[in-house]
Amino acid sequence: MLRAALLWLSERPAVFDFIKRNGMARRMARRFVAGEGLEHAEEATRELNGRDVTVTLDPLGESVRSADEAASARDTAITILDRIHETGLAANISLKLTQMGLDLDPELAADNMCTILERARSYETFVRIDMEASDYVQPTLDLFAERLHPEYGATVGVVIQSMLRRSAEDVERLIELHARVRLVKGAYMEPGEVAFPDKRDVDDSFAQLAERLLASGNYPAVATHDERLIEHARAYAAAHEIKNGAYEFQMLYGVRRDLMARLRAAGHNMRIYVPFGTDWYPYLMRRLAERPANLAFIAANIVRETFARS
């Protein structure tokens, strides 16, 4: 119920206009978002690289309203790629197709992505296309399979959400393409026709899809903070003599740093998803929806800090 309410709020830009001026909300965001500027993202990346952990930078932003806004998101992505190249940081980037104009015109989004991927290829780096709500899955996978993957190969990868009923078939198609896949549970509110309503089914699906990707995928990313599923993936890889270097674990900035450190110490490749930018509201609401206890935790911290200062 609370999860549904938070996800509903995540799609209300008017609420963001109201809360972005609120100091408490901004402090809440700082737990999950590196900061508003690229310099903050670089600082977080340097710190993580210092722990031998790689990063994927996410310039926050979702559906744009004009071709100019999409062009600006594209140029931001290129600036980040340039900066990663100049600084030598161990990072790549994650983007959303709606940022690139998918809602306005799929051709526009495709052209913007191609411009970004040209630059990424020249730097021999990698761009991940995040997966958004279920209505976007088919257009995203079509664009990936028909245009981006044939042209840019291992420079570009996609995301599969284990909560979706269609994902087992999508994974098989992506394995055939030898595409790079990040596996997640899925962060959006979805109807029962397209997604498993029961969390146990989402988790079972994650375990099965992780096995398929570990066995036959191309450097899959197992992206979860769920220790049981992480152990399942590790045990499967060990039993099938799949080397640590053949896949990576991924987690979100600000979540389970203890687990991140343990996996890295055990010799696993570990990448952290580091979001930054001014458009943090929908991202923050999805993180709170995943664990509504964060609301109480963050509020308690803010109260403690406020009293400590006064």
| Core vs surface per residue 160-199: b (16+ CB within 10 A) or e | bbbbbeebeebbeebbebebbbbbbbbbbbbeeeebbeee
Assigned token pair, 19? 């809360």
What x/- string results for residues 212 through 251 when contact with ligand FDA is judged by CB under 6 A?
A: -----------xxxx-----------------------xx
Query: Is residue 262 at the binding interface for ligand FDA, with CB under 6 A as the rule?
Result: no
130 counts as catalytic: yes
Query: Is residue 187 at the binding interface for ligand FDA, with CB under 6 A as the rule?
Result: yes
Q: Which of 250, 297, 287, 288 is nearest to 272 (CA)?
A: 250
User: How many binding residues for ligand FDA (CB under 6 A)?
Assistant: 23
- 109 — phi, psi (to 5°)? -60, -40
Q: Which among 58, 103, 119, 130 is annotated as catalytic?
A: 130
173 counts as catalytic: no
Query: Is residue 290 at the binding interface for ligand FDA, with CB under 6 A as the rule?
Result: yes
Q: Which of 101, 157, 186, 275: binder of ligand FDA (CB under 6 A)? A: 186
DSSP string, 43-98: HHHHHHHHTT-EEEEEE-----SSHHHHHHHHHHHHHHHHHHHHHT-SEEEEE-TT
Nearer to ligand FDA, 17 or 227 (CB): 227
- Determine the residue type at 66: S
Question: Least separation, in Å, of the C-beta of 78 and ligand FDA?
Answer: 21
Positions marked active-site: 130, 182
Residues that bind ligand FDA (CB under 6 A): 130-131, 159, 161, 184-188, 223-226, 250-252, 255-256, 273, 287, 290-291, 294
